[in-house]
Amino acid sequence: ETGVTQTPRHLVMGMTNKKSLKCEQHLGHNAMYWYKQSAKKPLELMFVYNFKEQTENNSVPSRFSPECPNSSHLFLHLHTLQPEDSALYLCASSHFLGDEPYEQYFGPGTRLTVT
């Protein structure tokens, strides 16, 4: 596989369920990101991991819990979500070295519906 992959592609869950989203990057990058994209809104950065360490939590509610076991894998654990959490969840990865900015490459996303 190449690029950034995400599973599942679609997920429907009830408000009391617990589920996890998975992201894997095959690009040799060392930074990984979770974004949320709701209808008619810009992409919102949720979490950033650099070399497996979380470097940004953009005021995300605790019902979203990220996990980064290594620089190729990223998870987003979900529990007791609300209907307004329904959105497209996108994972991205990039190089990061010192102060140099690099382009981010996105996975296809998981379309989440909370019922």
Catalog residues that contact other proteins under the rule CB under 8 A: 31, 33, 40-43, 45, 48-51, 53, 55-56, 90, 94, 96, 99, 101-109, 111
| DSSP strands (E only) in the chain | 4-7, 10-13, 18-25, 31-37, 44-50, 53-57, 64-70, 73-79, 87-94, 105-106, 110-114
- Min dist CB 15 to other proteins, Å, is 25
Pairing of strands 4-7, 53-57: unpaired
- Min dist CB 11 to other proteins, Å, is 15
- Min dist CB 97 to other proteins, Å, is 9
Cβ proximity to other proteins: between 16 and 28 the closer is: 28
Instruction: Quote the tokens at residue 105.
Output: 């490459």
